Structure 1
Amino acid sequence: MAIRDSDAAGLTDKVESTSNTPETTVAENTARTSIFSALAAPQYRRFWFGSLASVGATQLLIIGQGVLVFDLSGSEFLLGLAGAVTGIATIIVTLFGGVLADRVNKRLLLMTTSLMVAGLLFLLAMLDVTDVVKVWHVVAIASTIGVVVGFDSPARQSIFPLLIDRRNQMMSAVALNSVAWQGSRIIVPAIGGFALAYFGTHSVFFAGAVGFTLMFFIMTTVRVDEGEQGPSRSALAELWDGVRFVAANRLFAVLIPLTYANMFFSVSYMQLIPVFAGAYADQSDQALGFLFGLAGVGSIGGTFAVGRVRSYLPVGWLMILGSSGGSMAIIAFGVWTYFGPDPTGYANPIISPMFLVSAALMFISGTFNSIFLISSMTVLQLRVPSALRGRVMGIYVMTFSFIGIGGLLAGGVAQLVNASFAVAASSAVMLTIIVLVVVSQPVLRGLRTE
């Protein structure tokens, strides 16, 4: 039987009294539970397989959208803009999406959003396959998808804790969600690169529409006990409750902005990967797939490593290590792609030193960023009050929208200088932020397992 909101509240009550002290702790069993234990819960297992389809579709959208915009315009700025409009639209809506997730049936909300995204991807595919697509079409559809995702993400993040059977499966559920995302970054880019090379960008949009349609049908089979909904107040008043909780809780007030900064400065390089892949001439599509894929392989490695490492390193320092390690890898990536040897001088650019070192740095960055994200998400999910889960997690999941917005800044800098400088400088800013947080915030330094 899945955990109800009232059960989850008990866990929150046990930890909340210590949430503002330097020696903040989280339950030890979350670090020792098998990464696959949440799959023993039937409802979570169905949800997870549905998520595989929809997150794979999202990866196809990210790849196809970037390639299509760059092919149509040749502009790094417009490439960044296409990702940014999705992120901005999502951020604007997500706060109210969290309120809605606390008010309505989360399963029905996810079914609705899945069908809407499927329809929008089908529309983009039809515009592309008929050769009438323009950059403004891509930007308009991307922004509309961003609005829908603003309602989808809080519901997605607030429903899965209700689908597990035991509290000590929480870290497993968080890690498996990451496996779905990061695993798709391994497999999907390779498939997407092949599809782009042989069938065109429209093929990945059609496939994405199928993925979200599968998510819809799988969610029709999921059963979840969400408990009784409390009396509704105005949306702004309920939203303010979530904001006030985050502001009053030191750990949340430090950790959520830190994840925003990490995505904005350190992970936004993903938006510019098509620019770097373009250096490999006729093999640019394959290079794009491999670079995305190696970052995904690293993320999977980080997902499996995080539980073991937490047995030896306090979780606060684990998050610091994850964010700073990912930033340093991208600084090295920017330096290498600027000063390294030109890959076009090799018979096969894919096996050139430029590509091999770049791919290795993608792997390292993915590993460290995965460690940071899984650790931070687990801590927050264990501590958020159940009655505020949708709103607080709605504030948190805006994190992922900052990749696109950071990509807009990086794209602008790349247009003025170059892409290598843009990603290195952005990650250097993130590394500076980490140092300031370590020095000034004992609540993060003191976060540890019992």
Structure 2
Amino acid sequence: MKPEQSSNNKQSGLRFILRSFHYRNYRLFFSGQCISLIGTWIQNIAMSWLVYRLTGSALMLGLVGFAGNVPTFLISPFAGVLVDRGNRHRILLITQALAMLQAFILALLVLTDNILVWHIIPLSIFLGLVNALDAPARQAFVTEIVEDRNDLGNAIALNSSMFNGARLIGPSVAGVLIAAMGEGLCFLINGISYLAVLAALLAMRVKPRKTEGAKDNIFKHFKDGLAYVRGFAPIRYILMLLALVSFTGMPYTVLMPVFASEILHGGPHTLGFMMGASGMGALTGAVYLASRKNIRGLEKNIPFAAGLFGTGLIFFSQSRSFLFSLCLLLFTGFGMMVQMASCNTVVQTIVDDDKRGRVMSLYAAAFMGVVPFGSLFAGTMASWLGAPNTVLIGGIASVGGALLFSSGLPALRKIILPIYDEKLRSQE
């Protein structure tokens, strides 16, 4: 092959991976979220380190994680009704502005040396309430800015790469900033970063979306969405596996300060590198998904990735080597990302359009809303059994869930594959 042909093939491959950038609104959304998510990850690491510095308690880490995410579990299913009935673009403008306010309040309290852990809990609850509405709105909004259903999986994968690219950069930056200047600057940077996504949202030109049943009772809409998920086996089982992994496996992130400080005998730099390694693995998984030509066969990734995630946790829990732990976190991050993004893409592809917001709100509840209960459980278990044994149990449970899902996959594929074909034909 000639050098110029090889170069053209590489460019063509890159254009294919980035094909969702063809849409102007998606480019704006992606660029604004890139900056904002880096700030979010900086704040997440600073928050966990601040709580552990103030209390030295694994249980308190779990409690703060619970407070920050439980609103997603309680409110998100009802928020999905608002997402289906309302203007998703306007909802995102409001939620992003409120999240920016929370970051600035945290920064003020820390920089003036007035912060207490009992300030952190209500502020975490406030942000959790904001995220309960923001998460389903952001998920459903992607279908409004990526018009071709064939590109939906690519857009979701690129969103995942954006999230995990930020997860790679943010914790590393946070580790340096915390060591050099303290947590307050991290919260301030996060607050400023929201200006980027607000500017991007304001610059978009979004077509009005037709909504039905806007005058119907909100509880009726909620019940209809719940009945739809309960009666549709592929979505039901995907959400059940997602909830299991989120409860048992995902809370390992809450215990990362314990591993960094007590198990691996490091500091904020160690925590930053560990979160960065997990982010690198997740970013690799997102690039892999973005390079796929279509959605067929994506459902087979779900149990494999969940099993890989759980296996990574099992070995990570027993590691006492910093370098070996980093290697294991690469695999853990890859498995977590491929499972989460594959679930998201399959659900977004097979769901009825008029129920998208409600289904994605239940997705958010299963993915993020269950995490606070897992965080509280993990913090409690870690105080009794230690962080390594707690993560070990989570890994075993994730592997078990993956095996059960895999056993039922042939029956689910008989339902999913005809829907794939019908949806793709409608785009031709």
3-state DSSP class of the match of 2:90? helix
Partner amino acid, structure 1, of 2:56: G
Give the match for residue 380 of structure 1: 347
Q: Structure 1, residues 270-325: CA drift from partner, whole Å, max 9, x if none?
A: 11111111138884111111000010110111112235678899333321110001
CA contact (8 A) 2:20 2:155 kept: yes
Change (3 A) 1:335 1:310: farther
Give 1:19's aligned residue. Answer: none
Which residue of the other structure, out of 242, 246, 252, is the alignment partner of 1:269? Answer: 252
Write the distance in 2 (CA, Å) between the matches of 1:310 and 1:332. Answer: 33
In the alignment, the residues of structure 1 paired with residue 15 and residue 299 of structure 2 have an alpha-carbon distance, to the nearest angstrom, of 19
For the structure 1 residues 164 and 441, does the alpha-carbon distance in structure 2 shift closer, same or farther, using more than 3 Å as the test?
closer
Conserved? CA contact 1:183–1:296, under 8 Å: yes
| 1:90-169 alignment runs, 5 A limit | 90-169=72-151
Give, in angstroms, the shift of residue 257 of structure 1. 1.5
2:193 corresponds in structure 1 to 211
SS in 2 for 1:165: coil
- Looking at structure 1, the residues matched to 75 and 39 of structure 2 have their Cα atoms a distance apart, in angstroms, of 21
In the TM superposition, 1:172-191 aligns within 5 A as 172-191=154-173
Q: 1: CA distance between counterparts of 2:65 and 2:100?
A: 18
Measured against aligned partners, the alpha-carbon deviations of 1:45-102 in whole angstroms (never above 9, x if no partner) come to 1011121123223212221111111111000000011111111112111112111111
Which residue is equivalent to 1:60?
A: 42
Give the gaps of 5 or more residues in structure 1: 1-31, 341-353
Paired residue for 2:288?
Answer: 305
How many angstroms does 1:365 deviate by?
0.6
Structure 2 spans left out of the alignment, 5+ residues: 1-13, 422-428
Q: Percent identity?
A: 27
Give 1:323's match in structure 2, choosing from 289, 298, 306. 306
What is the Cα-based RMSD across aligned positions, in Å? 2.1
Relative to 1, partners in 2 of residues 1:282 and 1:438: Cα closer, same or farther, differing over 3 Å? closer
Aligned-residue offset at 1:376:
1.3
Report the TM-score, using the length of structure 2 for normalisation: 0.89
> What is the number of residues matched between the two proteins?
403
Distance 1:307 1:153, change over 3 A: closer
Paired residue secondary structure (1:230): coil
The AA in structure 1 aligned to 2:23 is: A
Name the counterpart of 1:78.
Answer: 60
Whether the 8 Å contact between 1:33 and 1:168 is mirrored in structure 2 is: no
Residue 295 (str. 1) matches residue 263 (str. 2): no
Partner Cα separation in structure 1 for residue 32 and residue 306 of structure 2: 29
Displacement after TM superposition at 1:414 (Å): 0.7
After TM superposition, the structure 1 = structure 2 runs for residues 281-430 of structure 1, keeping only pairs within 5 Å, are 283-306=266-289, 314-336=297-319, 340=320, 354-398=321-365, 399-430=367-398
Indicate the larger mover: 428-437 or 307-316: 307-316
Aligned residue for 1:176, secondary structure, equals helix
What letter matches 1:394 in structure 2?
A: S
Distance of 1:302 and 1:319 partners within structure 2: 12
State the distance in 1 between where 2:296 and 2:155 align: 21
Note the alpha carbon deviations across 1:178-225, whole angstroms, 9 max, x for none. 011100111111111111111101111111111223212221111222
Letter in 1 for 2:99: V
Aligned to 1:198: 180
Whichever residue aligns with residue 385 of structure 2, its letter is V
- Opposite residue 365 of structure 1, the aligned amino acid is T
Query: Aligned AA for 1:299?
Result: A
Counterpart Cα distance in 1 of 2:272 and 2:114: 26
3-state SS in 1 of match to 2:203:
coil
Distance in 1, Cα, partners of 2:251 & 2:407: 25
1:444 CA drift (Å)? 4.1
> Does the 8 A contact of 2:17 with 2:291 survive in 1?
no
Q: Read off the aligned partner of 1:272 and give its amino acid letter.
A: L
- Using the size of structure 1 for normalisation, the TM-score is 0.85
Change beyond 3 A, Cα 1:283–1:426: closer
